[in-house]
Structure 1
Amino acid sequence: MDFKGLRTCIYKVNDLEKAKAWYNEVLGFGPYFDEPFYVGYNVAGYELGLIPDEGNPATHEGGVHTYWGVENVEAMFQRLLGMGASTYEAPNEVGGGIVVGMVKDPWGNLFGMIYNPHFSLA
């Protein structure tokens, strides 16, 4: 049995409607699945899901670190900060031309970005 790669990343949010509006703007499109218990986006063949959570958003920080591929980490990082995200890890090169950065969305979820010139879906 082999792993087939990232399929789904789920973020907990305490206001599903506000989170949906925020992610619609971040992604530039709406969800393909939209129910009160789950909102799902198809992001270039990968799933970004939102689920309602009435818990403390601060508890999300210790969870999974997921990185979404982008062409320009610094530009996306600044865009997300302008949309209400906060800095978790400023963009930096980690070697081999790979650049990563991470913000906290308005609900405390970690949202990572990566530019990796060595990665290919093919």
Structure 2
Amino acid sequence: MFERIDTICLTVSDVERSSSWYQEVLGLKEVFKGEKYRILKVGNSEIPLTIEEGSASSNENNAYPIFFTKDIETTHQKLKELGVDVSELKNDGENNYFNFFDLDNNKLQVCYWH
């Protein structure tokens, strides 16, 4: 169903300011710039860090893994058939994705991009 973990995503209150901080303070390199998110390369790791603008309340669990699949429609349907709580398929102009939730309502995401 999944090929790999595509990225780990953290929610930040200001994506521009946070991207600068991650680059200047932690030495990460911005490798992709989306409208409300940035993808940052972490050293020699193949798994990047994604920062996404949103509510960064410490009362919420905002970190979540994003899994990659080459067949997002089949994966979406299979999870639905297994009784998993899944969102509708979405496209942000770059990625096709959907969210799904585990037994404790932790958010997980699946994406496909070229």
Shorter-chain TM-score: which interval?
A: 0.3 to 0.5
TM-score by length of 1: 0.42
If asked which structure has higher relative contact order (CA below 8 Å, sep 6+), I would say 2
TM-score by length of 2: 0.45
